[in-house]
Amino acid sequence: MANILVINGPNMNLLGSREPEHYGSETLPALNLRLRRFCEELGHAYADFQSNHEGQLIDRVQTSTADFIILNPAALTHTSIALRDALLAVNIPFIEIHVSNIFRRDAFRHHSYFSDIALGTIAGLGAEGYFSALRYAHSYFTKNVLIRS
């Protein structure tokens, strides 16, 4: 059994009401409940964390005892070298996720400070992207998935 932590960055607390054409209508608490259930069905422990404050996200990464992180850095994707450095420091494998397809949006959203250090990046699949990341995390721990550079 692995400990899986899902971290959501700024404005993800508005999921369900913020720009539903990009992010859908499901709220973050409802999504977290579905993710927890699915994670537990797979036999893993689940924790989630959301903050609108970069320092709190960094603190959570630095104090994490998780075996795997699913990270939606939200707007910090394009700005946070500090959060990137925290992830490098703890060396916990992670997948970067985005509910919307950042490459079909404003040009400034096309660059990520996380994609090159993540095991993989999922973008544009809506909430389903989190479930894909959980499936991968499960495989990572149960089937000895080989990571290719």
45-50 β-sheet, strand order:
45-50, 3-8, 68-72, 94-98, 120-123
In terms of C-beta distances under 8 Å and separation of at least 24 residues, what long-range contacts does 23-26 make, across chains too?
Answer: 23/99, 23/100, 23/126, 24/99, 24/126, 24/127, 26/127
Annotated active-site residue in 44, 46, 98, 113:
98
Tokens (6 digits) for 134: 């959980």
23 is catalytic: yes
Active centre residues (catalytic): 23, 98
